[in-house]
Amino acid sequence: EQLPKLRWCQVHTTVMLSEGQRYNTNVTCFGKFKEYIASNSNFNVNVSYNELYEKFFDNYYLEAAPYMKKYFEQMNAYMEYLESKPDEFGLAGGVYQEIGNVRYWPKQLLLNWLGIMDDAFKAIGKYKTTDASLCPKLYKHILIETLFPRYALCDLHPESYSQEEIDSLRREFKKDASALGVNEFAEHDYEKDAVNAKYKSWGLK
């Protein structure tokens, strides 16, 4: 018997929203940039990605823009590298593949990215004295992007630190993630017990 047509196939779509971590106040991995691209391209499909890229980074990060661009571009290049070697890394591009694996995230790569963001923090240092209201905003814009490499270090590389060091890294991560409103670690994962279970597995209350 032929199945009936699905009603959603008959709807004339004008806007498509990106999936995201809907319960997080802030989203890591340049979520704000994704929102900026979507908010512009939804109303003009002819917008220039390069122009939006430059405009967003230069205005969202100010003096820290060159460093955040460097991190963003390195992350993209690395993801393209992983994708180019499906046989070696076992990544076929499926959305349900488990990418939170230590083999994909070497410690030195994560530390290098955090080093770039340390330079970004230094670049906005002048605003501590020249603009007390702007400085915390810029600081948060950078801080949210430190969460991914820090999480990967805390969860994938604990054996490379002393117990005191890993405990400190994990406490600092939880403090910053909670302050930034990161309440879920994955899309559709708004179960506070799951987040709390991760912190508990780290030895945190």
pLDDT on residue 87:
78
CB of 29 closer than 8 Å to CB of 148: yes
Name the stretches of the chain with pLDDT < 70.
1-22, 93, 186-193
pLDDT on residue 188:
60
Q: How many C-beta atoms surround the C-beta of residue 44 within 10 A? A: 8
Q: How far apart are CA 172 and CA 195, in angstroms?
A: 15
CB of 126 closer than 8 Å to CB of 62: no
Kindly report the pTM of this predicted structure.
Answer: 0.86
Question: Each residue of 88-133: pLDDT tens digit?
Answer: 777 776 777 778 889 999 999 999 999 999 999 999 999 999 999 9
Q: On the CB side of 175, how many CA atoms lie within 13 Å of its CA?
A: 6
Q: How far apart are CA 179 and CA 60, in angstroms?
A: 20
pLDDT on residue 137:
96
Element (H, E) at 123: helix 107-123
pLDDT on residue 25:
77
pLDDT on residue 21:
63
Q: How far apart are CA 108 and CA 126, in angstroms?
A: 29
pLDDT on residue 12:
57
Angle of helix 107-123 relative to helix 134-156, nearest 10 degrees? 170
Average pLDDT in the chain: 86
